[in-house]
Chain A
């Protein structure tokens, strides 16, 4: 009831958004309404998570296809996603209250925002394939409209076009996937799909299509190309939702199909998923390291984190098929915990990027600098987000990374040789991605928030309205809580995982609260709670020791810099120079990164030029390749427009004969 009323309220808010016109306060009311509706949805999800029978009652509405109706149901998995989705939407809505007055054209944003929220929530509660796809498209189109909101910029139009293409492709794959799941009888409701057994060929195709459909929405390499185009093009609170939350809805679709509707995915797919996840993680973070645009950097970092989650999902599939149910549950808990964490810190980081862009009007890292002093709130919240996404204890990102590593370290216990040799390689990729993520965020944070301002706009950045600051502060607090007190949440998550893996499993089983000891008490354990308390005491002891033995005097002076200090901010490291060592090590072959320096000859006063060339092989090879192919085929097919009537009749006849032959052959069997 709670959920239904909140969802209808979102639809009503969309109408209000249309009526809002040019008055800022009306837009603010719509965002306030969205925040309240999201809070109600969180309450609905939490209320359900506490219940013991995993599935709630089905609700059938007489809409949609006449012979199918619309089925809705809330089970533990959708309740968990409902909570995490709406934590993000609450923060983004509260941010929107203050942010809307800074938008160039708020009336192009406000009506679609509640619709986007509605679409994402409707995907989660759909209980039949038809409603699932309709809601999925609702979500895609609403977000497409939001990407187009600043349509005067040609880059945004192109981004929206690429996004629309990818969304169409994804939905097409999912449509076919559900068609196969429904079987010959056309059983489109989810309970009927669970009951249908799949033969090996359609089982294979279902996983492949789910991976293409949901994977393109989530941003798996090489289907990631639209994320860094579309996410930054939208207004920042929408970017936060697209990157932090909508990708999670895509992963929900993947988990729903692979673990629930399909049920028996072979271990080979698990291995494939782990490799795809590993490649996605490493490629995503390398792309992020090369970006100068703050929002593009964050979008690529989403690609990386999706890769990390998919490694966990692949591991869970392999364990489940190998009969190691407890380990499958561990891997799935780890993946779900990373999904929760990423939705929080990515939303936080995108909102702080939005705050930076609002305050300075600059998106390029090389135009920022020294913002921590001008915007202390945003700077502190972004620091928490950067520490969390770099998987550093005691914050939440580390906990999920730790759980994934613990599950991964048990991977070689699987009987397959491919797994014994492959798991360490995937482990190395995951470790590499985690370490590179830390470099990436030292770079992003250090250049944007620390140092001296690199432009006039950054030097004159101004503080922002309270609602924008509060939404970031709450998300930062959540990062700390989920990191310091992980056990409560992981226990709730293991409740969700139980019907999917068929085993009841608590991550804290052996040592109890507050220890995470997933396999056994001697296998390796972690406690964020104890670590925080000890760390804080050591921190205080070091302050006391230092101040007890020494002096507390401080003198402010000019920077020393080995005697080379100059008052020109351009002498600082830039984003490109920071990334140079990593670019040389990792990107030489992967991105054909080349640096050239043109020095003028002696006596010539013209400036020296440094040129950096980076090639995105996936974009050039795959996407532009497909574009060329489509153009070529279209040219060929174009000839068919100018044939004689005789030839058209001949073609029709040939087609008819061919179809009849197919039918005849099939009946022979």
Chain B
């Protein structure tokens, strides 16, 4: 499979009469988008806002972040099986509005959504302080159930990102990257001396605001399976979760999975990127046993020399992580796991909820319990009404001067376990 990804640089975003891209600026007609969103009768109202890098803006409670992309050549379309017709993606040509993002916010569903600060200390911890964000703020219809509300908000965010992404199709990319993924036999023939490496991606699947969808399939109802890594670049995996926003993969993370990018960067040089396995993180023990059995079985069957395992979430999924690691190591395949830590605010607690001696190669995205005080920012998009209640907040954390104190876990993407960031801990 071969996918060419063309990046069109977006340096600014602005409201305008016509929705278009001109000289690196994304212009948006909010009225058009509004009527599109309101076609969904579950949503009572929607308003749009703009947040640029460096502005004194706080966005909360954030549900998802999505990158606008368009399919230019090849089968299928962006967000297959969800926004567009089901068809296998990951081949041909895709364009990206690089530097732009759609951010969905609105009244919380549970306790769970995150914070994005566009400047100040908080901006250092979230990757989305560096994107030009179109913020979509929903008001759900009175009496709508949390599950329905979450689904409506998710769908609307994807629809808007898809619509904006379409603009990129006719543009000339500033930069192009080619990702070529050989079939198993081709790979072995081409790189007989390189170690065959796989990627095991664990997907959060514990229920409301903890779900992930693959080609529209709710991952908690799927058995462990395989994907061609380029499929993720066309939106095959989408996020339905942001609980403890620091370590949940937004759709943007899935579209730009850094493990996939970094394995491709070494592909044909120091390793042969041979397979990608996706598995879930369900709450029942039987599901955990089944999924990790299957993960190990597939890795063994594929005869891989090594795999990188990325986790999503913490606590309960630590069990899935350790099961996957232990069972894969037992097949003779070497593992490196990527996780984050809950070592307590002072950093002196044990960091994981499960452990095993075979997990001897670990990359950490940092301690999510670290406390930070975020300065008052001039403008809030969304509401601070839930800042005490969201995961990472606590009673009395909004100070009179307008600053807020939270654990890093409240900041969207701060300790992402795909290894998206530079942050670590020792």
Are A and B subunits of one complex? no
* A interface with B by C-beta (< 8 Å): none
* B interface with A by C-beta (< 8 Å): none
